[in-house]
Structure formats: structure tokens, C-alpha cells
Chains A and B, each alone.
Chain A
Amino acid sequence: AQSVTQPDIHITVSEGASLELRCNYSYGATPYLFWYVQSPGQGLQLLLKYFSGDTLVQGIKGFEAEFKRSQSSFNLRKPSVHWSDAAEYFCAVGMDSSYKLIFGSGTRLLVRP
């Protein structure tokens, strides 16, 4: 069965430090991949998406993610974190056979001043 794993429930970084959030998926074919961010009390906002082509994708708010087929990973990165990046981040996988997405359980990012 298809699944998405975000191994880190919480991550704390200092403002200005770099960030990497991990996402691993289980799916037999090439998936569609997404990262979403959720601020407290809000819905999910799309950060970036990967469908095909260049495996390094750029998103909004200075985020990027790299698709690594050999590792079944789609990790999210940001070179310098801002206090406003504190939120919960969700990785999601879409499949050729369906319009549905499978979401990871999320990673909560805390930013130290």
C-alpha cells in the first residue's frame, strides 16, 4: 500500500539557520509530490510540487525540495529560516491512478529567536 512517512514529529531550529524536513514515500511508480504548510488555525497552503522533469523544485517563501528516486525521498529545504516559518509542514503523494493524495503525519517546526 502507498504511504508517506515524515519521521520527525517536531523540529526546532534557530532563526537564520538552515532547515531540512524529511519525507519518504512508498509507491511503485513515479509519484506526484507536494509539500504543504499549515499555520495555526488555518488550512493548508501549497509550498511546491513535483510532477516530472528537474528533480530540484523551487517553491514559495524561499523553500525548495529535491526528489530522489533511489531513496524514495522528497525532502524540503530552506537555507535560512525566519520566525514566520514556524508552522506544521505536510508532505503528500499523488498517484497516476487516482486524484487522491496521501498525506504524511506532519512535522511541526519551531523557530528559536
Chain B
Amino acid sequence: DVKVTQSSRYLVKRTGEKVFLECVQDMDHENMFWYRQDPGLGLRLIYFSYDVKMKEKGDIPEGYSVSREKKERFSLILESASTNQTSMYLCASSEGKQPQHFGDGTRLSIL
């Protein structure tokens, strides 16, 4: 069974800090995704990666960057955290056009 593991379930950071969210998948999937989830807005794609060192912007990339140095790991970076980045962050992986498999999410609070 596919497992997508996000390093933290809850995280509290301060405004201006550089924040790293880590995601690891164990099924050798090509594609990995970062979403943020806010009430009433569903899931919005921040960035995705279809191969090592390859990335594409999603719908809301401003204020975020990503890193994929190894196939199994996809990191989301908040360069300088702001309070409007308080949200639930979800990582997912997939193979081709097969369904995406999700981690349990990281609830991030920026104070």
C-alpha cells in the first residue's frame, strides 16, 4: 500500500521564519504535489514535480518554493512565513495519471 508521510502533523512558527515541510513517499512515484487546504476553498495546488529536480508552479506559488533532490522526497519551503500562510498543507504522490495518494497533512500556524 502506498504511504505518503509528512514529517509534522502540527507546526507553529513565527512571522518571517523560513519554514520547511517535508514529504516522503515509498512507492517510487514520478509525480509529487503540494496543496494547501482552507475552509470553503477546497484544495489549491501550490507546486508539483514530475521528476527529480523538475518542478512546475501550481495555482498559488507566491511565497513558496520547493525542492526535489531525490525521487521519494518533496519539500515545501516558506521563504519568509506570513500569517496568511496559516493553513493545512497536504502532500500527494501519483504515477502517471493514476489517482493521487495523500499524506495526513501538516497543520501550520504562523504567529
Chain A residues packing against B (C-beta within 8 Å): 9, 32, 34, 36, 41-46, 49, 51, 90, 94, 99-101, 103-106
Contacts and interface: CB of A to CB of B under 8 A. Distances in A.
Given A99-B31, A99-B48, A45 B102 contact: yes
Interface of B: 4, 9, 31, 33, 35, 40-45, 48, 50, 58, 90, 92, 94, 96-97, 99-105
Contact of A43 (B42, B44, B58, B102): B102
Nearest to A45: B102
Given A43-B90, A44-B90, A100-B48, A34 B99 contact: yes
15 contacts: A41-B9, A43-B4, A43-B104, A44-B43, A44-B102, A90-B42, A99-B31, A99-B48, A99-B50, A101-B45, A103-B35, A103-B42, A103-B43, A105-B40, A106-B42
Nearest to B9: A41
Contact of B99 (A46, A100, A104): A46
Contact of B40 (A9, A34, A103): A9
A75 B96 CA distance: 25
